Homo-oligomer: A and B are copies of this chain.
Amino acid sequence: MSFYPPRRTLMGPGPSDVNPRITNAMARPTIGHLDPVFIELMEELKGLLQYAFQTKNALTLPVSAPGSAGMETCFVNLMEPGDKAIICQNGVFGGRMKENVTRLGGEAVMVQDDWGSAIDLDKVREAIAVHPDAKVLAFVHAETSTGVRSDAEALCRLASEAGMLSIMDTVTGLGGIEVAIDQWGADAVYSGSQKCLSCTPGLSPLTISDRAAEVIRNRSHPVQSWFLDLNLVMGYWGNGDGKRAYHHTAPINALYGLHEALTILKEEGLEASFARHRLNHEALKAGLEAIGLSLVVKEEDRLPQLNLVSVPEGVDEAAVRSTLLNDYHLEIGAGLGALAGKVWRIGLMGYASNPTNVRLCLSALQHALAAQGLEVNGAVRAADAVYAAAGQ
């Protein structure tokens, strides 16, 4: 039997609501991965990704697999067995970076911060002083597990001043907050399609600086993964020599979707998208605070697109999420790791970052809390006041 999913509102940590323009684009006829028309699409995609990443990097393309494969692409291409990486961990994804490094035969030096806090630059400076021989400094710009933004510009600068290559995870960042690859001097950066780009999951936008690309071209060992070897992937996405060598069959229709998602982002403009994410975050925050719910992350470190909300004393957080899903078809996220059971993660990403979703989420939360005996109201009014003050 054919599968007909319910229509959900996706306000968790991703996937986010997908713009129907994108699913419509994905449903267009499949063409061949070496078709001249498809090659044109690939060139356009590269340009659109360069726009989103604010970069001129020639090696900018979508990895044909989800964000975790984008992460692995960066590590296995930049590092060789025996290489050392300093990894900043303040959530789930720093831990995954460590796994990547040890599995390729590298050494991982961990810099730990509390989950829910930004990366402490002083600790990173210390680690660099103790391990000046590290090849890579890796960090998460926008932690999907905690809703924390770290100072990517400063971290990239620390890396380049120390002669290290930076690897940056901005899976949840791209399109929602400033990501300025060239200005920051980031070396290897990956993102995801299903967060602030509001595309379906399954692709990982990637950009590699010229100096990192040079390192990849001059490796002494082949990249351990054939599928993720950028020396081979470059041959298909274009070396600048005008030739295309078949590497793997590109996920054609998924790329139609990403092309449309990036087209939508460019139509809106990066600054306008960032401002929209900020405004909807402010409105959600006002609504939450009006009913006594507080945000966990310090104000200056908050991601507007992903809000970590404290579960009030005595409230069964899983029951609240079930009520939202069953009664409102609304998905929000649970906490992970040390934060499990203590927080919700409410996403306002891409197409999902809009006043209707903010009002829906606040109304539904009031309903779900009331079902647990916590009578609160006034959330939507507080959010609306923020929109009114912004002239909306």
- Which residues from B are CB-within-8-Å of A247? 68
With contacts A65-B69, A103-B223 known, is A30 near B3, CB below 8 A?
A: no
State whether the Cβ of A66 lies closer than 8 Å to any Cβ in chain B: yes
Contact B226 A99 (CB under 8 A): yes
User: Which residues of A5-22 have CB atoms within 8 Å of chain B's CB atoms?
Assistant: 5-8, 10, 12, 14-15, 17-18, 21
**Min CB gap A9→B, angstroms:** 10
B18 touches A251 (CB 8 A): no
Tell me the smallest distance from the CB of A67 to a CB of chain B, in Å.
7
Contact B201 A66 (CB under 8 A): no
Interface residue? A240 (CB, 8 A): no
Q: How far is the CB of A19 from chain B (nearest CB, A)?
A: 10
A5/B96 contact (C-beta < 8 A), A66-B64, A248-B67 known: no
Give CA–CA (A250, B259) in the complex, Å: 20
Chain A interface secondary structure, helix, strand, loop or mixed? loop
Is A299 located at the chain interface by the 8 A CB criterion?
no
Q: Which B residues touch A10, using CB under 8 A?
A: 30-32
Count residues on chain A whose CB falls below 8 Å from chain B CBs.
Answer: 74
Q: Report whether A200 and B28 are in contact in the complex, using a CB–CB cutoff of 8 Å.
A: no
Task: State A4–B26 Cα separation when bound (angstroms).
Answer: 10
Bound-state Cα–Cα, A28 to B23, Å: 7
Could you list 27 examples of A-B contacts with CB < 8 Å? A2-B21, A3-B44, A3-B256, A3-B260, A5-B30, A5-B38, A7-B29, A12-B32, A23-B27, A33-B201, A35-B325, A36-B325, A64-B66, A64-B69, A64-B202, A66-B227, A66-B249, A68-B247, A68-B248, A72-B226, A100-B226, A103-B222, A103-B223, A194-B249, A200-B251, A200-B254, A254-B254
Q: A2-B259, A23-B28, A72-B227 are in contact. List 19 more A-B contacts (CB 8 A).
A: A6-B37, A8-B29, A10-B32, A17-B30, A18-B29, A64-B65, A66-B227, A67-B249, A68-B227, A69-B69, A71-B227, A100-B226, A194-B249, A201-B250, A201-B251, A201-B252, A202-B250, A202-B251, A253-B257
